[in-house]
Structure 1
Amino acid sequence: MNELYAVGIFLLVLFTLLGGSVWIGLALMGVAWVGMELFTVRPAGDAMITTIWTGASSWTLTALPLFIWMGEILFRTRLSQDMFKGLAPWMSWLPGGLLHTNIVGCTIFAAVSGSSAATLTTVGKMSIPELRARNYPEYMIIGTLAGAATLGLMIPPSLTLIVYGVTINESITKLFMAGIFPGLVLAGLFMSYIVLWHYFSKGQRPDPEPSMKFVDMVKNSRFLIPVLLLVFAVIGSMYLGYATATEAAAVGVVGSLTLAAAQHSLNWDTFVASLLGATRTSAMIALILMGAAFLSLSMGFTGIPRALAAFIDSMSLSPLVLIMALTVFYIILGMFLDGISSVVLTMAIVEPMIRQAGIDVIWFGIFVVVVVEMAQVTPPIGFNLFVLQGMTKHEISYISKTALPMVGLMALMIVILVMWPELATWLPNNIRGR
């Protein structure tokens, strides 16, 4: 009964603060403060200072601003134009043609940027004008881009996986490894959708691209070499055991600065703009993590996580039923909160539940990312929808409709993960990293 009373107080304070447009990080701190004052005898101020400092000074967390900065630097280079030049000759012969550049472009850029929004903006800047000029259907251009951009949340380096790993104290490198195969499978599902569209919508196909000699195709591929080398330097250094996630992030920053300088895109203005952009994003995420750490401590004192885990255990729910319930829960939550906020807000409650049910926490991290990806393209607060609206000037309702097939494919990805969990767990269990 005491736990139910505490849950009611927590929810009331949380929704009051969020409804008053208080920043999410500050709202979490406010809820935790109320909990400490009402349900414990420990001084709330002392607990908050200690917990916030401990959470904010984590060595693992230093990878976060570095990966964000790497993405900000690359966003300001000629990477988008070069990617299209390198990809177009190889994609044009596939069923569906150059629409595949949306998927492959997002997959490549996701491997050097952990942000869905950065992936969407960079690849959209590349593909939308080119595909429109070639008379590809608008709904396919926007829909495939909206879905494929979410790969930035899964394919390492993923900001969401970093936050998840810090929140539950799990290896970031293992989580990054776990995201590779599911990310590639999801990209394959998106490309399969384009192939099916090609065969079932013959009247909407644009004119085929002019044929190009193989030698010329290879020559154009030189535009992809810099970004592929950067991907190998960042991801390879982790998976081969030469670097931790934080050290690999530093390698990525140096590599992206070198790439920007080689493209003559690096000047004082772009350097400062990238640094300020990374600082703003990192500060926002750090504030949310601080609030979440304090909230976790406060809820621990109330005994809510333990009571909830015991309640779930008493219901004898199978892991499958629990996953189905959490899928619906995260989809609904993701309609109103961004992905990182959804993760940090719920882990204090959800982590004991999944551990009690015997669910692998590495696998669960990938599951959460897929569900959060769905939330990025579902109204009313689908962040990718707003980014696309700014880029294309279409109504949110239209963009949402174009993204519906991609949401369905992400739901299929959850089914695949449940049926073949080894897709996420094999690599981290068999490859040694640091």
Structure 2
Amino acid sequence: MLEIALLLLVLLCLLLASGLWIALALAATGWVAMTIVHPSPGLFLASAFWESTGSWTLAALPMFIWMGEILFRTRLSEELFNGLAPWVRRLPGRLLHVNVLACGIFGSVSGSSAATCATVSKIALPELKRRGYDERTAIGSLTTSGTLGIMIPPSIIMVVYAVAAEVSIVRVFIAGMIPGMLVMGLFSLYIVVWALLNPAKQPPPEPRLSFVQKVRQSSQLIPCGLLIVGVIGSMFAGLATATEAAAFGVLGALILAALTGTLSWSSFRDSLAGATRLSCMIMFILAGAAFLTKAMALTGIPAALATAVAEAGLGPYAIIAILTVVYLILGTALDGVSMIVLTTSVVVPMVQQAGFDLVWFGIFIVLLVELAEISPPLGFNLFVMQTMTGKEQTEIAWASLPFFCMLVLTVALVTLFPALVTWLPDAVLSR
């Protein structure tokens, strides 16, 4: 059985290396696996494609993507920067903290790492450069803080994992809150330490603002804050499912775009077209992965691998260490969605066998995808920042390295203290 698994892995790698679409490579590998145990794999192919894309739960995915596309075309990033800036002027590092906070807030309404990185960087980079902040640190903080778009719910990656692993989307969303805040805290902590060690690389302090002036300038955050509370709060309170909250989010994003004067027929059409393209790509990949998952289940390969892991006597932490290395290697060549759908059918039985909570494992994978987003040669955020700055990818990767280490520290903390992930969803949903 393990020999068959190895042959299928080699086949999948060859198909991917040939340049074949990921969805077709998955389906073709599933077809070969299915022929081993069933004479008519076509029936399973049709049913797998229909079941994977005809899910009501999965309807949340295109809605969240559309919400992010709408907001991408508003002045939200400019308003975030201006609204947050007054409150961090006295902290060491000053406006560099706005990069982290703005990416965290925008990520909570966009669900996309690349969109968060590009949108906030478009405003923050010129402003920080104009005021004399260290460009290297600014680039590193923006590149890595952009990954908060997939950690702070609602997150597209979280929806994909929840559907693939058949766990609650709302539970995964809630589970990402504390780790997301932890990542933001560690990023800001590094900025504070860096600023204290490098006072000469910061501009002179700006004039103090009164509390009233700060509040008046921060009033620009109110529309975005209301949208976040409406989307995430409705799920936390149990008033709406993830799909219903996504629909409310789209409506709120349209209203916000209209209020800021950025809603036009052209922007509406562009946002809908962008959401359609990305949603179709992800759902096509999910369909191919669903067929591969069904084929693998019928061949018994995942169960055999889980049994082999159990019989090998590896401890839970050894399994997690191996999976960490595997995902980091995958992250150098694949995007986050592909990483998840390629591995779920095999990895989930192994994780369950080892006694790990699947919601915790989902957040663990999301953190590894965050690391992959800033890992050369195919880190999406590296490409985004390369486009924004015109600098070499290696230079951006080196600038991101300290923040990369903060993400590694977060992975270690949630592994050693799983309650950081599981406590909040248990507390909120057990009421």
Mark yes or no: TM-score above 0.5: yes
Q: Residue 362 of structure 2 aligns with which residue? A: 365
Secondary structure of 2:216's aligned partner: helix
User: Quick one: which amino acid aligns to residue 173 of structure 1?
Assistant: V
Contact 1:6 1:302 in 2 (8 A): no
Secondary structure of 1:22's aligned partner: coil
Q: Does 1:119 align with 2:105?
A: no
- How far did 1:162 drift? 0.5
Q: Residue 14 of structure 2 aligns with which residue? A: 16
The percent identity for this pair of structures is: 50
Cα deviation digits, residues 143-170 of structure 1 (max 9, x gap) = 0011111111111001111111001110
Q: Distance in 1 between matches of 2:430 and 2:139?
A: 37
User: Quick one: which amino acid aligns to residue 107 of structure 1?
Assistant: G
Contact 1:66 1:253 in 2 (8 A): yes
TM-score calculated relative to the size of structure 2? 0.98
Q: Distance in 2 between matches of 1:33 and 1:27?
A: 10
Q: Distance in 1 between matches of 2:301 and 2:32?
A: 15
Q: Which runs of 5 or more structure 2 residues have no equivalent in the other structure?
A: none
- How far did 1:284 drift? 0.6
Q: Distance in 2 between matches of 1:339 and 1:216?
A: 42
Q: Residue 280 of structure 1 aligns with which residue? A: 277
User: Quick one: which amino acid aligns to residue 386 of structure 2?
Assistant: Q
Cα deviation digits, residues 157-200 of structure 1 (max 9, x gap) = 01111111001110000000000001001100000010001001
Q: Does 1:178 align with 2:186?
A: no
Q: Does 1:267 align with 2:246?
A: no
Match of 1:48 among 38, 45, 50: 45
Contact 1:238 1:433 in 2 (8 A): no
Cα deviation digits, residues 394-414 of structure 1 (max 9, x gap) = 000101101111111111001
Secondary structure of 1:330's aligned partner: helix
Q: Residue 197 of structure 2 aligns with which residue? A: 200
Q: How many residues align?
A: 431
Match of 2:95 among 73, 95, 98: 98
Cα deviation digits, residues 263-314 of structure 1 (max 9, x gap) = 1100000000000000011011001100110011111122110110000110
Q: Distance in 1 between matches of 2:49 and 2:8?
A: 19
- How far did 1:433 drift? 8.3
Alignment of 1:308-387 (within 5 A): 308-387=305-384
Q: Residue 236 of structure 2 aligns with which residue? A: 239
Q: Residue 147 of structure 1 aligns with which residue? A: 144
Match of 1:83 among 36, 56, 80: 80
Q: Residue 247 of structure 2 aligns with which residue? A: 250
- How far did 1:316 drift? 1.9
User: Quick one: which amino acid aligns to residue 238 of structure 1?
Assistant: M
Secondary structure of 1:281's aligned partner: helix
Contact 1:100 1:191 in 2 (8 A): yes
Q: Distance in 2 between matches of 1:421 and 1:63?
A: 27
Q: Distance in 1 between matches of 2:271 and 2:391?
A: 28
Q: Distance in 1 between matches of 2:39 and 2:427?
A: 44
Q: Distance in 2 between matches of 1:431 and 1:12?
A: 44
RMSD: 1.1
Q: Distance in 2 between matches of 1:281 and 1:375?
A: 19
- How far did 1:84 drift? 1.2
Q: Does 1:393 align with 2:390?
A: yes
Q: Distance in 2 between matches of 1:301 and 1:224?
A: 52
- How far did 1:234 drift? 0.1
Secondary structure of 2:154's aligned partner: coil
Contact 2:2 2:305 in 1 (8 A): no
Secondary structure of 1:210's aligned partner: coil
Secondary structure of 1:97's aligned partner: coil
Q: Distance in 1 between matches of 2:46 and 2:116?
A: 36
Q: Distance in 1 between matches of 2:316 and 2:3?
A: 28
- How far did 1:362 drift? 0.8
Cα deviation digits, residues 345-386 of structure 1 (max 9, x gap) = 001110000100110111111111111100000101111100
Q: Distance in 2 between matches of 1:118 and 1:433?
A: 34
User: Quick one: which amino acid aligns to residue 13 of structure 1?
Assistant: L
Q: Which runs of 5 or more structure 1 residues have no equivalent in the other structure?
A: none
Q: Distance in 2 between matches of 1:301 and 1:235?
A: 38
- How far did 1:318 drift? 1.5
Q: Does 1:27 align with 2:25?
A: yes
Q: Residue 167 of structure 1 aligns with which residue? A: 164
Contact 2:2 2:304 in 1 (8 A): no
User: Quick one: which amino acid aligns to residue 79 of structure 1?
Assistant: L
Stretch of structure 1 that moved more, 87-96 or 100-109? 87-96
Q: Does 1:229 align with 2:226?
A: yes
Cα deviation digits, residues 234-284 of structure 1 (max 9, x gap) = 000000010000000001000000000001100000000000000011011
Contact 1:375 1:382 in 2 (8 A): yes
Contact 1:240 1:433 in 2 (8 A): no
Q: Residue 422 of structure 1 aligns with which residue? A: 419
Contact 1:333 1:342 in 2 (8 A): yes
TM-score calculated relative to the size of structure 1? 0.98
Match of 2:58 among 45, 57, 61: 61
Contact 1:173 1:238 in 2 (8 A): yes
User: Quick one: which amino acid aligns to residue 267 of structure 2?
Assistant: T
Q: Distance in 1 between matches of 2:237 and 2:6?
A: 48
Q: Distance in 2 between matches of 1:240 and 1:419?
A: 29
Q: Residue 219 of structure 1 aligns with which residue? A: 216
- How far did 1:80 drift? 1.2
Q: Distance in 1 between matches of 2:272 and 2:40?
A: 38
Q: Distance in 1 between matches of 2:383 and 2:400?
A: 13
Secondary structure of 1:157's aligned partner: coil
